[in-house]
Structure 1
Amino acid sequence: MNRNVLSRRALVGVAIAALALAGCGGGDDDSDTGTGGTDASAGASEYANLSGDLKASGASFPDAYYQEVITEFKGVAPNLTVNYNAVGSGQGKKDFGANLNDFAGSDSTVKDGDGPTAGSFLYVPTVAAPITVSFNISGVDKLQLSPDTLAKIFQTDIKTWNDAAIAADNPGVTLPATNITVVHRAEGSGTTNNFTKYLVAAAPDTWKLKSGDVVDWPASTQGAEKNSGVAQLIKQTDGGIGYVDFSDARASGLKFAAIKNKDGQFVEASIEGTTAALQGAEIAEDLTFNPLNAAGATTYPITAPTYILVRTTYTDAAKKDAVKGFVRYILTEGQTLAPEVDFAPLPDELKTKALAQLDKIQ
């Protein structure tokens, strides 16, 4: 766990202990009831009455963030248990449409046949993060890739690492003749959707495989389950390359390429580059937004959004309150956790609109 998170939790524990000691003493002085104590407990009391169990499933891309938020949320809502199962955006949407979960995580929008029906759900954006292009090439620590070269690699038009197109992106770098092994998600995935959507936008004349949660990858490529599975397979394969969320790539110790952005600059994945990309993202009326291939010299071009899908109507009032409470926490206190686990918080404008979505839940 991030060291900053541990430090913050320790400070919270000290603060709680101090409040408890203060409550035990000074009982004879009824005048010492200023607003400070009431304000300090206001945030906790907002969630203290929530109870029961929430079941959720979906995208693995934001899993590290959601697990961290769930852990923190337990401290203010001790009677509510939230379980999030990272099974991929595609399965999460199917579960949601079949009423098998209370909310779903998805990095991609809902299409016909995904599960949920139009009008039955709302998008609530939560955070954003880079999709890295992670690689494992013996003797190579730094790699730069332009969009057209990247597209040719992933549709296997380029087969070895010393190909002239890769060499042109990496002047002065000695590249081996090692065969390229492309690794991708095996299941329906919002990470796949966003990565291929980026290639459609950035390399429209080169990329031929279109975009979607599932793509018809060439037979010579290899699939793995979840972002963590892709990361592990790349790590085990000399010559391997794949797309992996920033959090899992860092946790696995992978190297990732600098990608040429819309302004012609090679930029490595980072929270700063993601934040820059978010500034140029257009927000649709339903609160879906697209930071992919955003303009700006410092933007990281493969920046992906992620959402929670909530129902427009919950028949169980306690369930409705629990979902609204948890998602509200994500959009308020939970935003401060995002950078500590390799995600970028929402811009203020989008966060305000996301909070307003919760008022539409009945």
Structure 2
Amino acid sequence: MILGLALVASSATAQSLTGAGASFPYPLYSKMFAEYKNAAGVDVNYQSVGSGAGQKAITERTVDFAGSDNPMSDDAMKAAPAKLLHIPTAIGAVVPAYNLPGVTEPLKFTGKVLADIYLGKIKTWNDKAIAALNPGVTLAPLPITVARRSDGSGTTYVFSDYLSKVSTEWKTKVGVGNSLSWPVGTGAKGNDGVAGVVKSTPGAIGYVELVYAKQNKLPYGSVQNRAGKYVLADNVPAAMAAKGVVIPADTRVSLTNSANADAYPIASFTYVIFYQEQKYGSRTQAQAQQLKKLLTWMVTTGQGYNEPLDYAKLPDNVEAKAKSIINTLTFDGKKF
């Protein structure tokens, strides 16, 4: 897959750009890039290969930009040949989607219950831990089929980042990452793959970005936030996860388990990652200028496509930081 990306990138012109990475924002980026082509005449080829593969592709300079739901670590950035920059493009929610025949109202979950399901400790839907959160709901003694990602995934990072904040056992035994040593589960590639497993398997549960649950008509549960409130994911509670959070200058920050009383607790920025110095390989200044124009459009005009596709828009202060970062781009050491 990445070799194919290299071939695409090497043939890029000023009228085309290539990106690869997270499946989390793929529905949004598909719409954004179609509209951008109409507006600017520039083709943007984005391959939904997972955040891990996207981070690898930008490190190897086989794409103009990467998509990732988690920011790269300091160590990962040091492995790149030059300075990498991050800008958020949207806020998305990761939801526990499930296939439970006969249950018509959204189930309630706590972080501990979700962790225990993914640790393999809760094995059936009528387990007393789930039943206690959902009085009055008839829960069949159906085995739980745990669906999770098989590829390097930013959605996995966000989900495991949340579980590590609410479950000491999860943090100790499994931890946080794009790829994990899973205690249990059926692996699938991409958000679409996990949604497919859930949709086709009675008794399944899987973590997916909100839009994938909606597109596949999958029910998804409300999750208890840090304030004790059960919140069903939507644009507003996802956006609230960023409210009151100190956003660092490089915008690399976790939004999970927000202290905001109205926030949905499993929310995250999704990022675009690119090089500050744009002169490398066979790149031209025209190509660098096209990337700068695209990134600027994504955090300004392009934000108009977020909410209709079930992603929250960037808060004003984050949009301002993103534009400031974009304006540090250089070509041969000079800003352009």
* Same fold, TM-score > 0.5, yes or no: yes
Equivalent residue for 2:45, pick from 79, 83, 88: 83
Please give the alpha-carbon distance, in whole angstroms, between the structure 2 residues aligned to 1:51 and 1:151: 47
Check whether the contact 1:182–1:240 (CA below 8 A) recurs between aligned residues: yes
Name 1:243's counterpart in structure 2.
Answer: 207
Name 1:18's counterpart in structure 2.
Answer: none
Secondary structure of 1:346's partner? coil
Please give the alpha-carbon distance, in whole angstroms, between the structure 2 residues aligned to 1:319 and 1:176: 57
Check whether the contact 2:98–2:220 (CA below 8 A) recurs between aligned residues: yes
Check whether the contact 2:19–2:47 (CA below 8 A) recurs between aligned residues: yes
Please give the alpha-carbon distance, in whole angstroms, between the structure 2 residues aligned to 1:249 and 1:114: 32
* Matched letter for residue 69 of structure 2: D
Check whether the contact 1:147–1:259 (CA below 8 A) recurs between aligned residues: yes
* Matched letter for residue 102 of structure 1: D
CA-based RMSD: 1.6
Q: CA deviation at 1:205?
A: 4.7
Please give the alpha-carbon distance, in whole angstroms, between the structure 2 residues aligned to 1:193 and 1:149: 18
Paired residues in the alignment total 311
Please give the alpha-carbon distance, in whole angstroms, between the structure 1 residues aligned to 2:140 and 2:170: 24
The yes-or-no answer on 1:72 pairing with 2:35 is yes
Name 1:222's counterpart in structure 2.
Answer: 186
The yes-or-no answer on 1:123 pairing with 2:86 is yes
Task: Give CA deviations for 1:237-283 in whole Å, capped at 9, x if unaligned.
Answer: 11100100011110000000110111101111111111111213331
Name 1:148's counterpart in structure 2.
Answer: 112
Structure 2 vs 1, CA of residues 115 and 71 (structure 1 numbering), >3 Å: closer, same or farther?
Answer: farther
Greater displacement, 201-210 / 255-264? 201-210
Q: CA deviation at 1:116?
A: 5.2
Task: Give CA deviations for 1:134-169 in whole Å, capped at 9, x if unaligned.
Answer: 011111122101111111001111111111111111
Structure with max Cα Rg:
1
Check whether the contact 1:126–1:331 (CA below 8 A) recurs between aligned residues: yes
Please give the alpha-carbon distance, in whole angstroms, between the structure 1 residues aligned to 2:253 and 2:275: 19
Q: CA deviation at 1:52?
A: 1.9
* Matched letter for residue 351 of structure 1: E
Name 2:178's counterpart in structure 1.
Answer: 213
Please give the alpha-carbon distance, in whole angstroms, between the structure 1 residues aligned to 2:285 and 2:170: 51
Please give the alpha-carbon distance, in whole angstroms, between the structure 2 residues aligned to 1:235 and 1:163: 22
Secondary structure of 1:356's partner? helix
Structure 2 vs 1, CA of residues 266 and 229 (structure 1 numbering), >3 Å: closer, same or farther?
Answer: same
The yes-or-no answer on 1:53 pairing with 2:21 is no
Structure 2 unpaired stretches of 5+: 1-12, 331-336
Task: Give CA deviations for 1:93-131 in whole Å, capped at 9, x if unaligned.
Answer: 111111110100011122335895285210011111110
Check whether the contact 2:306–2:313 (CA below 8 A) recurs between aligned residues: yes
Q: CA deviation at 1:309?
A: 0.4
Check whether the contact 1:110–1:116 (CA below 8 A) recurs between aligned residues: no
Please give the alpha-carbon distance, in whole angstroms, between the structure 1 residues aligned to 2:274 and 2:60: 13
Equivalent residue for 1:259, pick from 210, 219, 223: 223
The yes-or-no answer on 1:136 pairing with 2:96 is no
Secondary structure of 1:293's partner? coil
Structure 2 vs 1, CA of residues 249 and 172 (structure 1 numbering), >3 Å: closer, same or farther?
Answer: same
Identity over aligned pairs, percent: 36
Please give the alpha-carbon distance, in whole angstroms, between the structure 1 residues aligned to 2:268 and 2:311: 10
Q: CA deviation at 1:211?
A: 0.8
Secondary structure of 1:344's partner? coil
* Matched letter for residue 210 of structure 1: G
Equivalent residue for 1:290, pick from 239, 254, 259: 254
TM-score by length of 2: 0.89
Secondary structure of 2:88's partner? strand
Structure 1 unpaired stretches of 5+: 1-49
Please give the alpha-carbon distance, in whole angstroms, between the structure 1 residues aligned to 2:264 and 2:68: 21
Greater displacement, 147-156 / 271-280? 271-280
Secondary structure of 1:249's partner? helix
Task: Give CA deviations for 1:69-101 in whole Å, capped at 9, x if unaligned.
Answer: 1111112211x2111001000001111111110
Q: CA deviation at 1:236?
A: 0.5
TM-score by length of 1: 0.83
Please give the alpha-carbon distance, in whole angstroms, between the structure 2 residues aligned to 1:269 and 1:171: 21
Name 2:311's counterpart in structure 1.
Answer: 343
Name 2:333's counterpart in structure 1.
Answer: none
Secondary structure of 1:322's partner? helix
Check whether the contact 1:280–1:294 (CA below 8 A) recurs between aligned residues: no
